[in-house]
């Protein structure tokens, strides 16, 4: 109904507006932008925030992600694509996996350079050693992941972090609960993190999507 469009229709549906309103409300300055890379939006924003901190474009970064089901369009489209499970649950790494279950939620983390956080006596919950992003490139189709591309970014990011494969204990996976994507991801992790000749301890993998759905 075009007659119901008003100024709030603009600020309510434009991705670019959300981050600007947050910065306006809190008085944040410096780089401010929204990122839409589908499932990887939050991690991509995190990657870009670490670059801003390293380049001293900002001293503190607020990185947030949100998933809201405001219209039926995405749900209907992915159902017709047969990408959504029948029972609404992500059954990650399970024989019964038949698609992903959509979920709603939001999360925010605050980033600072480690030296600044230590100087300010901040409550440090974790340290990011390195980040990395890439695109699958050519694969078997729009919804088909590229295992080789995934393995390559794992190896590149490990090298950048200065960590060894054996230093990694746990992987929080994409783990959507699809019969196509999950095995490709697991094999990429196995190839990227597991050197059977040197690894003496198990590498655990999991996906919180099994608990809260695909946000």
Q: Which residues are catalytic?
A: 39, 174, 214
Please count the residues of the chain: 215
Rounded Cα distance, 15 and 45, in Å: 13
Q: Alpha helix locations (H) across the chain?
A: 7-13, 15-26, 41-54, 73-80, 114-119, 147-161, 181-193, 209-212
113 within 8 A of 59, measured Cβ to Cβ: yes
> Which residue is it, tokens 């609404």?
88
Rounded Cα distance, 126 and 114, in Å: 10
> Which residue is it, tokens 């999360």?
107
Report residue 82 as tokens. 């047969």
């Amino acid at each position: 109904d075009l007659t119901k469009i008003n100024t709030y229709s603009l600020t309510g549906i434009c991705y670019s507006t959300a981050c600007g309103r947050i910065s306006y409300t809190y008085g944040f300055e410096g780089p401010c932008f929204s990122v839409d890379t589908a499932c990887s939006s939050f991690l991509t924003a995190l990657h870009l925030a670490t670059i801003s901190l390293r380049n001293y474009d900002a001293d503190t970064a607020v990185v947030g992600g949100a998933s809201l089901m405001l219209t039926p369009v995405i749900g209907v489209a992915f159902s017709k694509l047969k990408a959504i499970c029948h029972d609404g649950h992500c059954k990650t790494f399970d024989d019964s996996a038949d698609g992903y279950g959509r979920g709603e939620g939001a999360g925010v983390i605050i980033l600072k350079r480690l030296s600044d956080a230590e100087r300010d006596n901040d409550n440090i919950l974790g340290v990011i050693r390195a980040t990395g992003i890439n695109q699958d490139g050519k694969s078997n189709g729009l919804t088909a992941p590229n295992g080789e591309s995934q393995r390559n970014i794992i190896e590149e990011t490990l090298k950048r972090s200065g960590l060894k494969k054996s230093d990694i204990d746990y992987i929080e996976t994409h783990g959507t609960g699809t019969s196509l994507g999950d095995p490709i991801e697991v094999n990429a992790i196995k190839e990227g993190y597991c050197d059977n000749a040197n690894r003496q301890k198990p590498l655990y993998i999991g996906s919180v999507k099994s608990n809260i759905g695909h946000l």
